Amino acid sequence: MTETTTTSGTPLLEVRNLEVEFRSKAGVAQAINGMNFTLHAGETLAILGESGSGKSVTAQTIMGILDMPPGHITGGQILYRGEDLLTMGEEKRRKLRGMNISMIFQDALSSLNPVLPVGWQIAEMFRVHRGFKRKEARAKAVELMQKVGIPAAEKRVWDFPHQFSGGMRQRIMIAMAIALDPDVLIADEPTTALDVTVQAQVMGLLKDLQAEHNMGLILITHDLGVVADVADKIAVMYAGRVMESADVFEIYARTANPYTKGLLESIPRIDGAGERLRAIPGLPPSLTDMPAGCPFSPRCEFATELCTAERPALREIVPGHRSACHYAEKIYAMSAEGTEEARA
């Protein structure tokens, strides 16, 4: 990731006004409400937010693995190289899945089949999509295990998932995801439950593989620290909506949304020894009973009557920086002043 990342041409992936809801006896939950973003080759988009904000549902919808019912896609488009995945035939979309758009799932242990050797599971990608024979597919599995840093790959290719550590299982998931050189890789919480050292190794591996294959990477996480060194741009989600989107440097230096501001202030700081860690008060709203105005208003220190009555649109504050807040300019100015004071 560089500060001067440039994008041009048709995006690899473009999500336009995506809406997803879940219908149950308890009511209709608006899981995704007007999601928009673009992803170009070699670019990393980080999607941030608390649990339940809609991050994983977005990934599942893009991959075409959303459980329907209870899930229902009620609007929008998902364009891969200009072609809408939502209107594409299932057979064609199945061929794209894994070969062109791939995904690393959140929990490697539950995502891997416990009764099949890891090498068999990696090799299956080549048998199904490329028509490789068993011996040839096994050789590719060993090659990929070596590529993602599994020691003694030739000996461990027939080991089972439970025989690997959490970090090694995540590497195996990455090997499966990149097996067919996809254009787009979605990593859903790839460092969950890993210690900080292994987190750094996994993120470094993803960064190296992305550079090697010029993949577009969507990194889904709730950890602002994880994305600081790898993301090019960030979309912050809350209650199924994008609350703020901008270049990664812009988000960290000059946020224009109170929710993002709260997330940034909740990160422990090395220079904040002895200070009480700040937290966002309250809980996210129920998706079946959303507030009439801004969904963050019950927890927001800047909320007024306008916020509780009228839902703010996601609008551009400065070029490339968008925020869904009635007082975005005020918060942006406060953040800019704070940045200048810190530099002084």
- CATH number, domain of 66, equals 3.40.50.300
- Per-residue model confidence as pLDDT tens digits over 259-286: 999 988 887 766 656 677 788 888 888 8
Question: Cα 228 to chain center, whole Å?
Answer: 14
The confidence score (pLDDT) of residue 6 equals 42
Number of structural domains (the chain) is 2
pTM tops 0.85: yes
Same domain, residue pair 180 and 295:
no
Domain membership flag for residue 87: yes
Same domain, residue pair 160 and 253:
no
Instruction: Average the pLDDT over 78-106 and give the result.
Output: 89
pLDDT band at residue 166, thresholds of 50, 70 and 90? confident
Query: What single DSSP character describes residue 172?
Result: H
Query: What single DSSP character describes residue 189?
Result: S
Polymer length in residues for the chain: 344
Domain membership flag for residue 108: yes
Those residues whose C-beta lies under 8 Å from the C-beta of residue 6, and which sit 6 or more positions away, are none
Those residues whose C-beta lies under 8 Å from the C-beta of residue 191, and which sit 6 or more positions away, are 170, 198, 199, 202, 203, 221, 223, 226
Instruction: Give the chain's radius of gyration (CA, Å).
Output: 21
What is the span of the domain harbouring residue 306? 241-268+277-343
